[in-house]
Structure 1
Amino acid sequence: MQKRISVVTPFYNESVAVGYYERAIASLIAQMHDYHFEIVCVDDGSSDDTLEQLIAIACRDPNYVVVELSRNFGKEPALTAGLDIASGDAVIPFDADLQDPPEIIPDMVKAWEAGAEVVLARRSDRATDSHVKRKTAEWFYQLHNKVSRTKIPENVGDFRLMDRRVVDALKQLPERQRFMKGLFAWVGFKTDVIEYVRQPRSAGKTKFSGWRLWNLALEGMTGFSTVPLRIWTYIGLFGALISVAFAVFIVVRTILFGVSTPGYASLLVAVTFLGSLQLISIGIIGEYIGRIYLETKQRPNYLIRHLYRKS
């Protein structure tokens, strides 16, 4: 029997890229005729005609399954929906913008057939990204891997091949606040790596602004480490020691030289500095409490409005 490979792609307002995507997938299927392909396209509440184009493809191509979510839930829940729907022996998360080239998928499948349960696609060249994006990504990976026990491979995105047992393991993870790169790394399994050069977008513009990337980075930091909370414990301890030392200094100076009139500038600096530290620490604690609050609601990660496939 032919092995089934599922390609999972979230779509959000990718109308101009759908045609390029369909042609790239058709070329891949023609090249790998020894395998049966299932193309799971998840429309994440697009406001353009992305969904209509995907439905039209699904009506004429039995390889396609189109999942329409009830609204825009975000890329991580949309990817989770695709992984839940995918039925392949191997599953490949894949972006609609074709920056991750489908041409390396045959090499990923070969590594899988050779025994790898996860095949990572690592970007050896990110020249298509801006300098700022490259540097901030580098800083994020370094910081995350220092404070978290779950190490995220650098320059590796969602694009990878996962064996069915890996996908089944991911489906057992119940959290609502999902940072998929971290979850992929957390489950582990036997891993191989293939390097590639990242391409420019086939069409359209990225949907990830700097603000969304910042929030995603916070999600990764707070979702896989409690070190930020511990750091503020040490900062508080250090501040307390400084305060005690300063109090001893004041007592000694008063005994030796008498009482002097203190200045307002030093008092203002001390109050504002310590107040700022307190607000930052409260904010970090609030980030974790917010995660607890959202997890206790036990709401589903996504809701499916309709599933489209050719009969």
Structure 2
Amino acid sequence: MKKISIVIPAYNEEGNLSIIHGEIKKVFLNLPDYDYEIIYVNDGSRDATQKTLEEISSNCPKLKYLEFSRNFGHQNAVKAGMDYADGNAVISMDADMQHPPTMIPDMIKKWEEGYDVVYTIRKYSKNISFFKRKTSDFFYHILSSLSDVELEKGSSDFRLLDASVIDVIRKTGETDIFLRGLVKWVGFKQYSIDFVAADRFSGSSKYSLGKMIKFAFTGITAFSMKPLYLAAYLGFFFSFLSLLYIPYVIYAFINKTEISGWASILMTVVFFGGIQLIILGILGIYMGKIFKQIKERPNYIIRSKNF
């Protein structure tokens, strides 16, 4: 009998755990040929998430949990679940019911057809705001343009990975993990399924605009050197542009024309100063990633677990 591991990161999700746990159990009642386990990763929650997991696990041997010593982030929580999963395939999904458990049979079916990776493409319902749609599309456009992996608009962390793919991901020693890009990068035989994201059952979204921007930078710098090349190109471009100013300076010197316009000079200095800071920032991001990598600190610390 094949075994499916369900990995669910949870950060302040006490109101959702019982619901999603019950829905997953219903799904596998209709899949009698498969054994399963549900691994919840408590990512340093401040509410009663851990207490709820302990209560559910006391009545359900299929439930396993990992409790982090603090909040290490969504991607590290998913990676931890993958590290401890022992199924023939691993499905990662969120705890807020936006990733519908009813899609699990479809994902398993495609896996049985020979696909190593079955990932999902999120389609927004009509009640999602225009701003949310456009910022999401912009996020994936920038990510695909500046990184060396191409992500479809709406790619999510709701996916099924064969055990062979999980083994490859486990061996990666990256500190800033970007699983959407990493899954694309490893290759294998992949298949996508569209789904309409449901509303959160309880609680609020943990991804603010600031976190999304940080997430984008993590993805871009994890899989591409393009920002560094862009910084170099900007340097060459503005250096060439400054050469065009030389004839005017010579003309003004010969004709003893007074060079006025302190405002324009100030704006020029500020502009080029901004460009330099951007370039230094890009270099700083890459240097920071190297700094974190060479220290070889663990991506997460487990405070407790029940298996």
RMSD (Å), alpha carbons: 1.4
Superposed CA deviations along residues 17-74 of structure 1, whole A, max 9, x for unmatched, are 1121121111112121110011111111111111111112212111111111111111
Mapping 1:209-248, distance limit 5 Å:
209-248=208-247
Partner of 2:206: 207
Q: Is the 8 A contact 1:157 1:181 kept in 2?
A: yes
Partner of 1:268: 266
Partner of 1:164: 163
AA of the residue aligned to 2:216? A
Superposed displacement of residue 273, structure 1: 1.2
AA of the residue aligned to 1:213? M
Which stretch of structure 1 is more off in the superposition, 54-63 or 4-13?
54-63
Matched, 1:185 2:188: no
Superposed CA deviations along residues 101-123 of structure 1, whole A, max 9, x for unmatched, are 11111011111101111111112
Tell me the secondary structure at the aligned position of residue 16 of structure 2: helix
Mapping 1:96-135, distance limit 5 Å:
96-135=95-134
Superposed displacement of residue 136, structure 1: 1.3
Partner of 1:55: 54
Superposed displacement of residue 253, structure 1: 4.4
Partner of 1:13: 12
Q: Is the 8 A contact 1:127 1:198 kept in 2?
A: no
Once residues 223 and 186 of structure 1 are traced to their aligned partners in structure 2, the CA distance between those partners, rounded to angstroms, is 11
Partner of 1:306: 304
Superposed CA deviations along residues 82-107 of structure 1, whole A, max 9, x for unmatched, are 00001000100011001011111101
Once residues 105 and 261 of structure 2 are traced to their aligned partners in structure 1, the CA distance between those partners, rounded to angstroms, is 72
Partner of 2:30: 31
Superposed CA deviations along residues 235-260 of structure 1, whole A, max 9, x for unmatched, are 111111111111123213433x3342
Once residues 291 and 263 of structure 1 are traced to their aligned partners in structure 2, the CA distance between those partners, rounded to angstroms, is 43
AA of the residue aligned to 2:203? G
Specify every segment of 5 or more residues in structure 1 that has no aligned partner in the other structure, as ranges. none
Superposed displacement of residue 125, structure 1: 3.4
Once residues 148 and 76 of structure 1 are traced to their aligned partners in structure 2, the CA distance between those partners, rounded to angstroms, is 18
Tell me the secondary structure at the aligned position of residue 267 of structure 2: helix
Superposed CA deviations along residues 215-236 of structure 1, whole A, max 9, x for unmatched, are 1111111111121121121111
Q: Is the 8 A contact 1:14 1:96 kept in 2?
A: yes
Superposed displacement of residue 294, structure 1: 0.9
AA of the residue aligned to 1:63? K
Partner of 1:285: 283
Partner of 1:297: 295
Percent of residue pairs identical: 39
Specify every segment of 5 or more residues in structure 2 that has no aligned partner in the other structure, as ranges. none
Tell me the secondary structure at the aligned position of residue 48 of structure 1: coil
TM-score normalized by the length of structure 1: 0.95
Matched, 1:45 2:65: no
Matched, 1:146 2:145: yes
Once residues 7 and 148 of structure 2 are traced to their aligned partners in structure 1, the CA distance between those partners, rounded to angstroms, is 28
TM-score normalized by the length of structure 2: 0.96
